[in-house]
Structure 1
Amino acid sequence: MKFKRIFIYACATIVLYFGIGALLLNFEIIQRLYIFPGWSIKHGATDEDSSTVSADGPIIIYRDGKILNYQVVPSPKGFTASVAEISENDSLQCYVDETGDRFRFLLNNSVQVQPSEYSRPAKILALSDIEGNFKGFKSILQGNGVIDSQFNWTFGANHLVLNGDFFDRGLQVTECLWLIYKLENEAEKQGGKVHFILGNHEMMNLKGQLKYLRDKYEHNADTLKLPYADWYARESALGRWLRTKNVVEKIGDLLFVHAGIRKDFPKEYTIQQINENVRAAIDKVFKKGEQAKDIFIGNESPIWYRGISNEEESQQNLENTLIRFKASKMIVGHTIVDQIKSLYQGKVIDIDLDHKTNSDQGKMYALWIENGTFYSTDQQGTKEVVK
């Protein structure tokens, strides 16, 4: 009888665990329900994710007056965790497991909030929604003379615009971020600029909303004994850096934004004020249902709104938005198109492509802007005028 009661209690506990867990997943109160260590169900997961522990880092954490470098590094038996105290002047190495590449960089002694408006350079290369695809990212940058084979900035005083969504879905998110971080410093020394614009997936990760996070990162977090939430918190190097970024930037008369600015976005806000409010929202705790309605990071905010890419607005309304910001064009990502193309009689250019599929086929595309002309350029630097 005693064994029977224990068995009944155990079964009831399991049923209760999965019942409550399924409910919490459904309402996105939790993002992951663990079944066994290393085996879990994710909210919204539609495809099997077989990714597991692999190379990652550096993850730089500032704690108790120390700078700690967490990394998952290759070893004869696979991968092992490495944690070491470093100094501000130490050279750091990032290893890319998929490609076998390595590059080195230094930490910034300080990070500053980025301006919202810039003068227009001679050349701009713009792309969005890389989603942890280091191989594709590398090929488009090298093929267009932005970096050399050693990952050094070779684009001079020109600008690289990254229009959001470098997080989630792919397996080299950390590596992409550190390359951007590295290039940002090098570009400014040459009079150039790297613009990293926040998208909805950056915001989701910064706020701990991990619906699209690959299993690799949870496994790596367990291996490092460093919760994934800490990787991009205020006490981390990448977290501090990301909190200086904008969601809307104007370069000359070109307006860059991840998703788009809708026609009825409140007119009292300047570009700078939009950016300030988005940064404030990163660490703001919203009550249930409030975030989705928030004008700065909610469902119809500049990081989520699909109405422009889906051509749901009138030509006049779109042009009124551009007039309001004294811009000639809006360049957006977020909504996948089959090729880089212009919308609204050339007033909008959509640059979000299925980079994963393209790079698997040896192809990559980005937007090239030079002498007032807008081109689609591929991984070999071959250009065609955008239509």
Structure 2
Amino acid sequence: MYLFTRIPLITAVFITLSHQAMAQDSTRTTYDGPYVFYIDGDLHVQHIRDTTVHTDTLSAEMKPGLALPVIFSDLPAWNFEVPLQTELHSPPVQYAAPEKVLILSDIEGEFGAFRALLLANKVIDEQYNWTFGKGHLVIAGDLFDRGSTVVEYLWLLYKLEQVAPLDGGYVHVILGNHDIMNLSGDFRYVQPKYAAHATLLQRSYHDLYSENTELGRWLRTKNIVEKIGDLLVLHGGVSPAVNERAMSLADINASSRPFYATPHAQVPDSMQLFLGRNGLFWYRGYFAEPRASQQTVDSTLQLYGVHKIVVGHTIVDSLVTTHYEGKVIAVDVNQHEGIHQALLIERGKYYRVNEKGNRELLDPKK
């Protein structure tokens, strides 16, 4: 039996029950979930303990206030509870400059790296309370693949997205190519355990994030590019061809969103510019041939009224680095291989920070 309850009504009971569940699971060798499916007006909440699937079914009307525990078998101190959001909405595409902002990308299911970065840079505390005040946390794509704690990572982002605004903060989740791949049926980089667990659940892997799941619906609301203060943040980059179209950010996101789960070969020609190999989450032209010119970068800045572009996707160094006279900042540092860094912007200064809380000032003109 999966232990959950409705928070506003019996919070104390929920805390007791969920902690009991976590204590029971802490002795398990494996745990995965929760996976939340919508089937015929009901919520089916499934999780895996070792090789046993546990399922609870309840009316979708019970969703408001419902919270589920996320459990780490070997690290019970990492456990947390996540309330389900009553409604899911697409976020804005443009934001005023926050007091401070932490930007990282390409975590790809490495929950431990993400948690360490947030703790060291005072975004959260050990209980996952938001401690970043009015600061913004920005994920510049690639939530999925390679790592073995993808589900836990997704649920933590889903949770922080709810708690940050209570203190004036905000969480931005911007999709990358690996996220689109998982939604659209390209599973080349998925951890084998997830295919095995889908089989245990008697589902295809594609079903785990379909539009009939909570996480699948949540992911489909997200943007592929956002303007945050004087920053343009996206996963890959803006190609010359995208510049030439001069579409607004709102139009790019709105027109792309219906095709997130469409296999690449079936994406209409009219959308290949934004979703294809030179699209916003695939483009590598800032760092690989044929290289974008300084003029291309400057044209993007002028088009969208920003001073800098922040991207992930392409590993260019073991460090967060600046390029194109400081106008492009690369934040993909290969988290999967144990290099954990992020970009911190605070009081007009740009810092390279790591999972130990160290910070190094970046040269904004380099």
Bin the TM-score by the shorter chain: 0.7 to 0.9
Identity of aligned residues (%): 40
Deviation at 1:209, TM superposition (A): 1.1
For 2:352 and 2:74, the matched residues in 1 are separated by 27
- Structure 1 counterpart of 2:136: 159
The farther-off stretch of 131-140 and 304-313 is 304-313
Query: Which residue of structure 2 lines up, in the alignment, with residue 353 of structure 1?
Result: 333
Residue 31 of structure 2 corresponds to residue 59 of structure 1: no
1:113 paired residue number: 90
Aligned counterpart for 1:70 among listed residues 46, 51, 65: 46
2:231–2:308 Cα contact (<8 Å) kept: yes
Task: Give the partner amino acid of 1:294.
Answer: Q
Partner of residue 345, structure 2: 369
The CA deviation string for residues 68-115 of structure 1, in whole angstroms up to 9 with x for no partner, is: 111112xxxx44211112431332001134644210011001000110
Structure-2 residue corresponding to 1:95: 71
* 8 Å CA contact retained: 1:277, 1:296: no
Runs of 4+ off more than 3 Å:
97-100, 283-293
SS in 1 for 2:237: coil
**Letter paired with 2:248:** T
Matched-pair contact (CA < 8 Å) for 1:152–1:186: yes
Instruction: Say what the alpha-carbon RMSD is for the aligned residues.
Output: 1.9
Which stretches in structure 1 are left out of the alignment for 5+ residues?
A: 1-52
Partner of 1:327: 306
Change (3 A) 1:189 1:322: same
- Residue 289 of structure 1 and its aligned partner are, at CA, apart by 8.5
CA separation of 1:98/1:209 partners in 2, compared to 1, >3 Å: closer, same or farther? farther
Look up the match of 1:219: 196
Q: 1:131 to 1:97 in 2, by over 3 A?
A: farther
Task: Give 2:181's aligned amino acid.
Answer: M
Instruction: Supply the AA of the counterpart residue of 1:180.
Output: L
CA 205–286 in structure 1, closer or farther in 2 if over 3 Å, else same:
closer
Q: Kindly provide the CA deviation profile for residues 10-34 of structure 1, in whole angstroms up to 9, marking residues without a partner as x.
A: xxxxxxxxxxxxxxxxxxxxxxxxx
Deviation (angstroms), 1:292: 12
Structure 1 residue 83 and structure 2 residue 55: aligned?
Answer: yes
What is aligned with 2:240? 263
Quote the offset at 1:275 in angstroms. Answer: 0.7
Equivalent in the alignment of 1:140: 117
Q: Is 1:337 aligned to residue 316 of structure 2?
A: yes
The alpha carbon displacement at 1:149 in A equals: 0.4
Residue 283 of structure 2 corresponds to which residue in structure 1? 305
Question: Does residue 208 of structure 2 align to residue 231 of structure 1?
Answer: yes
SS of equivalent residue, structure 1 residue 221: helix
Q: Does 1:197 align with 2:174?
A: yes
Would you say how many aligned residue pairs link Structure 1 and Structure 2?
327
Q: How far 1:290 moved relative to its partner?
A: 6.1
* Local SS of the residue matching 2:315: coil
Letter aligned with residue 309 of structure 2:
M
Identify unmatched segments of 5+ residues in structure 2: 1-28
In the TM superposition, residue 293 of structure 1 has moved relative to its aligned partner by 7.9
Task: Calculate the TM-score normalised by the size of structure 1.
Answer: 0.81
Equivalent residue of 2:129, what SS? coil
Partners of 1:225 and 1:324 in 2: how far apart? 48
Distance 1:137 1:214, change over 3 A: same
Letter in 1 for 2:279: S
CA distance in 2, matches of 1:119, 1:381: 26
Question: Tell me, what secondary structure is at the counterpart of 1:196?
Answer: strand
